[in-house]
Structures are given as C-alpha cells and as structure tokens.
C-alpha cells in the first residue's frame, strides 16, 4: 500500500520538495478581520506579511479540519 504525506500549508514545505515527494498540501485559513484567505491559494507569504504590517492586531490562523484533509487525499486503487 502506498504511503502519502498530507499536511497543511502552515508547514511551509518548499514547493520543490512538495513536488519531488508528492506531498498533498491542504491550505490553512488565515483571517484578517472579516476577510478569510486560503494560505498559498488566495494569499502568499509576501502578501501575508504586508497585511500583517498594515493592520493592528494579529491574524487568526485556522488549520485544516479532518474533512478538508480527506478531500485532499485522492482515492487509491
């Protein structure tokens, strides 16, 4: 049975390693006020730090829930 590594985007694994090892990355969610972003999809690291510098207070980070992780894993046959 093949083994797959599944993680959320907060692990910050370099994209070259993700591709090389076939790691499945489920986006974490980041809330800035009432606006929600998917890490690595709707917002990148540079945008994240720029928003952090612009806004008072810290953003809220929400890790993937089990349902999101299950959706990220393809069926194996």
Q: What is the pLDDT of residue 73?
A: 65
Q: Residue 25 class from Cβ within 10 Å (0-12 exposed, 13-18 middle, 19+ buried)?
A: buried
Q: Residue written as tokens 């890790």?
A: 63
> In this predicted structure, what is the pLDDT of residue 10?
86
Q: Which residues of the chain have pLDDT under 70?
A: 64-65, 68-69, 71-77
pLDDT tens digits, 48-69: 999 999 888 889 888 766 776 6
Neighbours of 28 (CB within 10 A): 20
**Which of 20, 26, 22 shows the shortest CA–CA distance to 7?**
26
């Amino acid at each position: 049975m093949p083994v797959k590594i599944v993680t959320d985007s907060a692990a910050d694994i370099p994209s070259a390693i993700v591709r090389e090892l076939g790691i499945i990355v489920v986006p974490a969610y980041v809330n800035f006020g009432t606006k929600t972003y998917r890490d690595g999809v709707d917002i990148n690291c540079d945008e994240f730090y720029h928003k952090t510098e612009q806004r008072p207070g810290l953003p809220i980070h929400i890790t993937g829930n089990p349902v999101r992780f299950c959706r990220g894993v393809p069926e194996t046959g």
